[in-house]
Structure 1
Amino acid sequence: MVKTPVRAERHQRFDLPALRADLRAALPDATAALVITAGLFAWLYARVESGVSMTLQVMPDLADAGRYWMYWLCQAFGWTGLLWAWITVMLGLIRSSARPGWLRVQPVRIERWHRTTSLTTIGLMFAHAALFFAELVRTNEEGAGWAGRVATSFAEVFVPGVYSSGTGRIAILVGLLALYLAVPLGLAFYLRQATGSRMWRALHRFVIVVYVLSVWHTLLYGTNVWYDGVFRTTVWLLQLPVALLLLVRLLAPARSGERLRLRDASRRPGALPLAAHLAGRVAAAAFVVGLLVVAATGRDGGRTPGVAGAGLNVTQTQVWVGLAVLLVVIAAVIHRLRPAPRTPAPGPTAPTPAARPSGSGGEHGER
């Protein structure tokens, strides 16, 4: 009898060959992201050197661009990461929506672009955090010695809720949650052999939460120091096509089984799924309207030069409660869509035992 190696079966649960292939395909994509990051860094550096950066009105100590170059490189990676997050979300929404007749690109190619840009986005997010960590190690004076500075800076940058200064109390917490959720939700595709296709598709939909957290982090800690100018307005305007595509995705998904049919009673999925589908469409439509109002009025809560900014209206407790609710919802989805246990393949049929006299006490009677 030939036994299937247990290690090989476990290895197949994570699609490592597909991940390696996507990483190789992401090299041009990542190279383009690095080139754009370098351009943004040079631009930010020049703005600081010339004194026109609005950031200096909030943090005048950063006026020495040469000394704080790692901070400005961190900011450049953050902006590129947000741009790539926008690109990969747009590609994902296009791929999961009904294909319009004018779109000549094959869905397989769009899906491949979506996967490679997702991997690049995760790398940019990590580089953004790592450079901020390196900058804190260099400037942190609270720790005793090198080891103390490293430990303190690591906790402030990579442990959610530890950073306790100013806007960063919420902004860094939200950014870390986006980073830590992006890894399992973004890589769920490569676990589809273990979880099943329905499971990974359902988990991957929560990536939109990662994107929302990333935008929120930027508005709090990135564009908030740029005040309410062209940078902040650009971030808001970029959300309009995302909201519109999300609405299209909800109204006309690519998979026919996900389409909402109110008139076809025989295909109704039930009261709770129907209510969830309707709520998603209403929320997306309200988001589109809200973005239009913000873009038209320019009133988004950003700072105004010369005017003291308002305090934070969100607490860490509220963020943690929101995370707990999200994790409960994800756990419920995992429980509902968990794959059924595999039944072992039937072996060769055993020969039928010979008939025994009545009352012989045999064990092969009816059960």
Structure 2
Amino acid sequence: MIGPNPLEYGWWLASRSSGVVAFAAVSISVIIGLMMANGLPKRPGAKKQLVAIHESTALAGLVAIGVHGLTLLGDSYLHPTLSQIAIPFTIDYRPFYTGLGIIAGWAALFLGLSFYARRMIGNKRWRSIHRATIVVWALAVVHTLGAGTDAGSLWLQAILVVTGLPIIFLFLRRVIPASKLKPAPLPESTPVERAAARAAARARGTRPASPPAS
């Protein structure tokens, strides 16, 4: 009995593992980017170190995305063409979820290359474009859950949770104004309420709990 060709199986394994690496690298890059956007941590010199890690993980993610797609060309089960791994929603295998992954891959490449063109397009415009990174990450999550071979595995779900929770928290912390995160101040008492409190205190023969506001 002849078993499966290990070389053909290896292509699928390479695509599968590089996809996980790509997701992990992009997630770490997004976490660090959101930390810097939130001004964290506040330790002197930390931002320079975080920028280096942010850029390195982003580039590693782009390389892994390229490997993830190109190694599928050798997969004996899917037999995709180059156009099918480059054009969204054209592949036969779970076209919707795979298509979202292809869109996320192209968007990640565009955002990554835009970093090197930020002087040409302007920092303000580049920052506006760069905010779409969270959308790319969300598309990658949907792609992983819908098309990933290991979507039902506990270890992959653990990666999704461990990376997803800090991203969601930091994103909400960034977009929700700080004033809404603080408890609302107690309303000041009116002159009538203060006079009533003083009268009640005199009737009881005690002092008011707090001195009347001037």
Unaligned runs of 5+ in 2: 181-214
Shift of 1:226: 4.6
Q: Is the 8 A contact 2:35 2:41 kept in 1?
A: no
Measured on the aligned residues, the alpha-carbon RMSD in Å equals: 2.5
In structure 2, relative to structure 1, the CA distance for the partners of 1:99 and 1:234 (3 Å cut) is: closer
Equivalent pairs counted in the alignment come to: 177
Match of 1:13 in 2: none
8 Å contact from structure 1 (residues 182, 207) kept in 2: yes
How far residue 216 of structure 1 moved from its aligned partner, in angstroms, is 1.0
Q: TM-score normalised to the size of structure 1?
A: 0.44
Name 1:219's counterpart in structure 2.
145
Percent identity between the two aligned chains: 23
Residue aligning to 1:182: 108
What is the TM-score normalised by the length of structure 2?
A: 0.73
Which residue of the other structure, out of 92, 95, 106, is the alignment partner of 2:36? 95
Are residues 139 and 207 of structure 1, via their aligned partners in 2, closer, same or farther at CA, if it must alter by over 3 Å? closer
1:94–1:249 contact (8 Å) kept in structure 2: no
Q: Post-superposition shift, 1:73?
A: 1.1
**Match for residue 130 of structure 1?**
70
Structure 2 residue aligned with 1:298: none
Partner residue of 1:155?
83
Larger RCO, structures 1/2 (Cα 8 Å, 6+ apart): 2
Q: Which residue of 138, 141, 157 maps to 1:232?
A: 157
Give structure 1 stretches of 5+ with no counterpart.
Answer: 1-62, 141-151, 252-258, 263-367
Deviations 1:239-272 (A, max 9, x none): 1111111122234xxxxxxx6779xxxxxxxxxx
Residue pair 1:98, 1:249 contacting (<8 A) in 2 also: no
Instruction: Report the Cα distance in structure 2 between the residues aligned to 1:84 and 1:91, rounded to whole angstroms.
Output: 11
CA distance in 2 between counterparts of 1:108 and 1:158 reads 35
How far has the Cα of 1:153 moved from its partner? 1.0
Distance verdict in 2 for CA 1:139–1:244, change over 3 Å: closer
**3-state secondary structure, aligned to 2:88:** coil
Secondary structure class of the residue paired with 1:164? coil
Task: Tell me: CA distance 1:250–1:158, structure 2 relative to 1, closer, same or farther (3 Å).
Answer: same
Paired with 1:239 and 1:200, the residues of 2 have a C-alpha distance of 25
Change (3 A) 1:65 1:239: farther
Identify the residue that residue 14 of structure 2 maps to in structure 1: 73
Q: Specify the alignment match of 2:211 in structure 1.
A: none
**How far apart are 1:228 and its partner, in Å?**
6.1
8 Å Cα contact 1:160-1:177 kept in structure 2: yes
CA distance in 1, matches of 2:78, 2:92: 16
Query: Judging changes above 3 Å, is the alpha-carbon distance between structure 1 residues 212 and 229 closer, same or farther for their aligned structure 2 residues?
Result: same
* Corresponding residue number in structure 2 for 1:118: 58
Distance 1:234 1:183, change over 3 A: closer
SS at match of 1:248: helix
Q: Offset at 1:105?
A: 4.9
SS in 1 for 2:173: helix
Q: Using the alignment, how far apart are the partners of 1:190 and 1:239 within structure 2? A: 27
Q: Quick check: 1:74–1:132 contact (8 Å CA) kept in 2?
A: yes
> 1:192 and 2:118 equivalent?
yes
- For 1:79 and 1:105, the matched residues in 2 are separated by 31
Instruction: Write the distance in 1 (CA, Å) between the matches of 2:121 and 2:97.
Output: 33
Distance 1:239 1:196 in 2: 30
